[in-house]
Amino acid sequence: MSNFVLVPVFILMTMLGAVGSLGLKKGASSARGLFRLVFNPWFVGGGFLYFVSAVLDIWLLKYIPYVIVLPLTALTYCWSMALAAIVLKERATKTKLFGLVLLLGGMVLLVV
């Protein structure tokens, strides 16, 4: 399989995982009780996106070695930090940004 297909699918997979997690958080934060949680649109949508992300992850494992795919899924944390800052208005501290730089540096070293 060509990298022209695998790289965009990989990026999409990590983005869907981050957006799915955001949906799960928003659903869990706004729902009162288990019944309302299970039928909360944020929770259901987040769970669906998280599931699609997992399916794409499994599909990618057919073409990319496990020792590459698993560590690179940490890209999800980059998207999650951006979403937390934009949607949830969480603050990105210097420590978090430094950790993000280390994470990205490690990912670069892994694929080079």
| Residues 63-88 pLDDT 10s | 999 999 999 999 999 999 999 999 99
User: Rounded to an integer, what distance in angstroms lies between the CA atom of residue 64 and that of residue 94?
Assistant: 33
Taking residues 93-101, report their average pLDDT.
Answer: 95
pLDDT, residue 31, reads 78
pLDDT tens digits along 36-64 = 888 999 999 999 999 999 999 999 999 99
Q: What is the mean pLDDT of residues 25-46?
A: 90
Region 15-35: what's the mean pLDDT?
92
User: CA-to-CA distance for 8 and 22, rounded, in angstroms?
Assistant: 21
pTM confidence score: 0.90
Of 68, 86, 98, which Cα lies nearest the Cα of 19? 86
